[in-house]
Chains A and B, each alone.
Chain A
Amino acid sequence: MSADEIAVDALRLALADSGLQKADVDGLITCKSFGGKGVDTDIGHLAGINPSYSASLDYGTCNFSLHLAAMVIDAGLATTVACVYGTNQSTAGNRFAAPAGTDGELTTPYGFFNIAGPAAMAFNRHRHLYGTTEEQLGAIAVAQRKWATLNPLAILREPLTIDGYLSTPYVVRPLRRSDICLISDGGAALIVTTLERAATLAARPVRLLAGGQVTALRQNQLADNLLRPWLATLANQVYPVAGIDREDVDLVYIQDATSVWVLQMLEAFGFCEAGEGGPFVASGATGPGGRLPVNTNGGQLSEAYMWGWLHLCEAVRQLRGECGPRQVARARIAQYCSTKGFEKGAVSILAAEGS
């Protein structure tokens, strides 16, 4: 299947889930995917819809798409927006041999390829500052694999132990294959509408309490940019807008291009102190039965790589109580954190309806 066919298939499934017909969709926001696919005009044409509003975002993670959908609805441009993503990058042969940053012509002569490069640098800096160990980093992949063993949709469900993790070779030292996201085919779609309209539908809705965004477009002209210190500003913004305290968050989703992102964002959002991310994940806090469930689908390290979109799908499923053996009891509030490279960050707070 082509990337756009997959995206339309995801749209079909999301419509069926929500109880809407495609003619009800008056907004379409797509996310460009590998190979330049995922353009709104192509996907809308393939899906046979004529929404009042349509747009493509050149970067995904679904957070930016979700926020745009909410703004479109608030502005009165549409009432019911489908956010859609599809990719066939595994079968289409994406080997992730892309430059590691946005200045590829300046850095590929030095062999700076793949997101694992800057991630390894960020981890080495964290280790230099705080003494974080490879065993602690490995605890992230191990915890997410534990979640994945409970998720029938996950691609990697074989148990992973810390010894097994440490016995695998480095890819970009100190990162191993299990620290780096999968390459997968697949798609995701979410329907965003008003609370009033959602109340009339058969599906149980999830409420978007707040969203926040931040940029660091000057990238490495900023000190310590690979540590993304600017993400902390999102934490200060989003909880007051959502009307919650950080302690109210039951589920955390972190777009995990690498395990290092999880380490960074747990600290940036204050789930542990700066520098304490290593001991925090090594304690088992983020795995099944832990006090702060993180990436309960297995994340991009174990479930599948959908540029963060599946994190939001999983948050919705958990808040609806649909997750079977991996269901987190009494989960009412979920937070989804994502970044676009080292230049943008976003966060959304979702709540189970009625909470």
Chain B
Amino acid sequence: MSEAPAAAMPNVEDPVSGRFWREAAAGRLSFQVCTECGYVRWPPAPVCPECLAVGGDWKPVARGGSVWSFAVYERAYHPDFAAKIPYVVALIELDAGPRLISNLVAIEPERVRCGLRVRAVFEPAGPEAALVKFTPEEGEIDE
């Protein structure tokens, strides 16, 4: 139950998760990979939720995944999104394992479906960060 609208910009200074946005700015979809058990971790955390090993190395992973499901925002809950509605928020199941909340871009909301194959693209957000968004794989959308 937090009250204030949260910032719509990624926090590159966050000691745990800031690296994710900086990796994206360099064109890499990277996650912490556990040095003990190899689990690909999301959200970022100081401990592996599988084996409890501390730490983990940030490593790039494959950019492909599929849409588990999606929602089309017709209302802006934050002023930063007023000009973007309608926009699509989706839960992406990456082939690498993590399940990520993100946006679908370069697709009309009416054409989004569960199971759609997508790949990560990077959208600059300030000088040091990029957002990881997803676009349909070629051939996924009927012309």
A interface residue numbers (CB < 8 A to B): 32-35, 94-99, 101, 103-114, 116-122, 124-125, 128, 169-175, 218, 220-221, 224-226
Inter-subunit contact B89/A98 (CB<8 Å): no
CA–CA, A160 and B104, complex, Å: 34
Q: How large is the interface on B (under 10, 10 to 19, 20 to 34, 35 or more residues)?
A: 35 or more
State the CA gap A221–B80 with chains docked (Å): 28
Known interface pairs A104-B2, A110-B103, A220-B99; A173-B86 also in contact (CB < 8 Å): yes
Residues of B within 8 A of A128 (CB): 69, 113-115
A109 touches B49 (CB 8 A): no
Tell me the B50-100 residues at the A interface (CB within 8 Å): 68-78, 80-81, 84, 86-87, 89-91, 99
- A174 to chain B: closest residue by CB: B72
Please give the distance in Å from B45's CB to the nearest CB on chain A. 10
Nearest Cβ distance between residue A342 and chain B, in whole angstroms?
11
| Residue on A nearest B102 in the bound complex, by CB | A110
What residues of chain A lie closer than 8 Å to B102, measured between beta carbons? 110
A101→B2 CA distance, assembly (Å)? 11
Determine whether the beta carbon of A34 is less than 8 Å from that of B6. no
Residue of A103, A112, A114, A119 most packed against chain B (CB within 10 A)? A112
**Contact residues in A for B113 (Cβ distance below 8 Å):** 128
* CB of B106 closer than 8 Å to a CB of A: no
Given contacts A111-B81, A111-B103, contact A125 B49 (CB under 8 A): no
Give the complex CA separation of A105 and B5 in angstroms.
11
Nearest chain A residue, comparing its CB with the CB of B10: A109
CB of B70 within 8 A of CB of A121, answer yes
Complex alpha-carbon distance, A144 and B75, angstroms = 24
Additional A-B contact list (6), CB under 8 Å, known A98-B6, A171-B74, A172-B73: A95-B77, A98-B5, A105-B14, A109-B131, A121-B90, A224-B68
Minimal Cβ-Cβ distance residue in A for B43: A103
> Are A172 and B1 in contact, CB atoms less than 8 angstroms apart?
no
The listed residue (A34, A173, A174) touching B1 by CB distance below 8 A is: A34
| CB-based contact B91/A220 at 8 Å | yes
16 contacts between A and B (CB under 8 A): A34-B1, A97-B78, A99-B2, A106-B17, A110-B101, A111-B8, A111-B76, A112-B89, A112-B101, A119-B71, A120-B72, A128-B115, A172-B73, A220-B101, A221-B42, A221-B99
